Amino acid sequence: MERTLIIVKPDAVQRGLTGEIIKRFEQRGLKIVGMKLLQVSRELAEKHYDVHRERPFFTSLVEYITSAPVVAVALEGSDAIVAARSTIGATNPSEAAAGTIRGDYALEIGRNLVHGSDSVENGEIEVANFFTEAELCGGWTRDVDGWVFE
């Protein structure tokens, strides 16, 4: 099973889209193993977006993600990384397909509502950056698992 970190970003929380966004991952079959509301610190934001440190949009990206509370969600599932990213849609919402979260609810790249890890390795790293082991319910049995996972 893969793990991915989803962040319901400040714009999504402010716009009252938290439930709508989490619902889409949940109904897809991905299993919630961690969830919390938090205000991301500058330190955590810079760590999370370290790969973009040299990009011109880095400062505004850190400002954005730290500007108001977010909901962090750790999801588990077969192919969780690719599945979550296809549910999220293209980075630039103006190019995101209708039916994806960004394609349905966003217009601009700097207000693209949601983050999803981009690789199995980064999924593990990002979940560990946002959650302590004690905050995760790693091994819980979901009764419908046999109807979602073959």
Among residues 115, 123, 130, 136, the one annotated as catalytic is 115
Nearer to ligand DAT, 91 or 94 (CB): 91
Binding site for ligand DAT (CB under 6 A): 52, 57, 61, 91, 109-110, 112, 115, 118
Q: What's the closest the beta carbon of residue 6 comes to ligand DAT, in angstroms?
A: 11
Backbone angles phi, psi at 6, to 5 degrees: -100, 135
118 contacts Mg ion (rule: CB under 5 A): yes
The answer to whether residue 52 is catalytic is no
Could you tell which of ligand DAT, Mg ion, none binds residue 83, using a CB distance below 5 to 8 A set by kind? none
Q: Which parts of the chain fold into alpha helices (H)?
A: 10-14, 18-28, 42-48, 58-66, 80-88, 101-105, 120-130, 145-148
Could you tell which of ligand DAT, Mg ion, none binds residue 112, using a CB distance below 5 to 8 A set by kind? ligand DAT
CB 65 within 8 A of CB 58: no
Nearer to ligand DAT, 31 or 85 (CB): 85
Nearest one of 133, 144, 126 to 33, comparing CA atoms: 133
Backbone angles phi, psi at 7, to 5 degrees: -120, 120
The set of catalytic residues is: 115
Residues in contact with Mg ion by CB under 5 A are 118
